[in-house]
Amino acid sequence: MPDKKTDSASADMMLAMRAQGGDAEAFESLVRSYRNEVYALCYYFTRNREDAWDLAQEVFIKAWRSLKRFRGDAAFKTWLMRIAANHCKDHLKKRRLVTTNYDDALQAVDAKSGGDPSKAAASSELGATIDAAVQQLPPKHQMAFVLREYKGLSYQEMAEVMQCSVGTVMSRLFNARKRLQVTLAPIMEQH
């Protein structure tokens, strides 16, 4: 059985090579493939839909302009997510934004609640509490946690995005989880 991830990476590499040659349609195909993931990462850091869409568009503009430097050492997705992560960090440094609660998480009804409003409210409150705890992590630990737990990247992909070693990624992720465990332990005992 063919590996779906490998097939996707191969297709991305072919599209990236065509785009490097000036094929705008090939690049548009890559944009369609990854626009939601780039937007989601930008939204996670900005907590603002308009800012996230603007940043996502800027990420793709940067990617287009930098395409000649894409060597294929990493998967296109990893290379693109690195650009997105760095662009978000730069944006936040420039703006020194204070993030707000994740509105969508607060509005979503937890599937486990079965429509019970009190369970849905408790679930939303717990989600907001966890999200607030993640927001309090140091930026490098927060990035590691988000890339692993929310985006599902492998340690190697995380290392490429964060431009550090796999060992450093593992250390940051361990520290992030440990801090969250300490912060959330009293709250989890209540639920």
In sequence order, what DSSP letters do the residues of 67-78 get, joined into one string? Answer: GGG--SSS-HHH
Cα-flanking dihedrals φ and ψ of residue 93, to 5°? -65, -45
Query: What mean pLDDT is reported for the chain?
Result: 82
- Specify the pLDDT at position 19: 94
Assess whether pLDDT exceeds 60 at residue 27. Answer: yes
Burial class of 63 by CB neighbour count within 10 A (0 to 12, 13 to 18, 19+): buried
User: pLDDT by residue (tens digit) across 75-100?
Assistant: 999 999 999 999 998 888 877 634 44
Helix (H, G, I), strand (E, B) or coil at 23: coil
What is the amino acid identity at position 175?
A: N
The confidence score (pLDDT) of residue 107 equals: 45
Instruction: Please check the confidence at residue 41 and state whether its pLDDT lies above 60.
Output: yes
For 36, phi and psi rounded to 5 degrees? -70, -40
How confident is the model at residue 104, as a pLDDT? 43
**Residue 164: what pLDDT?**
92
Correct CATH for 1-100 of 1.10.1740.10, 1.10.3720.10, 3.40.50.1100, 3.50.50.60: 1.10.1740.10
In the DSSP assignment, the letter for residue 108 is: S
Q: How large a percentage of the chain has pLDDT more than 70?
A: 81
Closest CA to 155 of 146, 167, 143: 167
Region of poorest pLDDT, from 40-54, 65-79, 85-99: 85-99
What pLDDT, on a 0 to 100 scale, did the predictor assign at position 110? 43
Q: What's the whole-model pTM score? A: 0.63
95 alpha-carbon distance from chain centroid: 19
Higher pLDDT, 120 or 65: 65
Contact partners, residue 82, CB within 8 Å, separation at least 6: 74, 160, 161, 162, 163
Q: How far is Cα 23 from Cα 184, in angstroms, rounded to an integer?
A: 49
Of the listed ranges 17-26, 114-123, 137-146, 155-164, the least confidently predicted one is: 114-123
CA distances from 1 to 7, 8, 9, 119, 154 (A): 11, 14, 16, 42, 21
CA atoms within 13 A on the CB side of 180: 21
**Predicted confidence band at 5 (pLDDT cuts at 50, 70, 90)?**
low
Q: What pLDDT, on a 0 to 100 scale, did the predictor assign at position 115? A: 55
Would you kindly state where each structural domain of the chain is located, as residue ranges? 1-100
- Stretch 126-143: mean pLDDT, rounded? 86
Question: What mean pLDDT comes out for the span 126-147?
Answer: 86
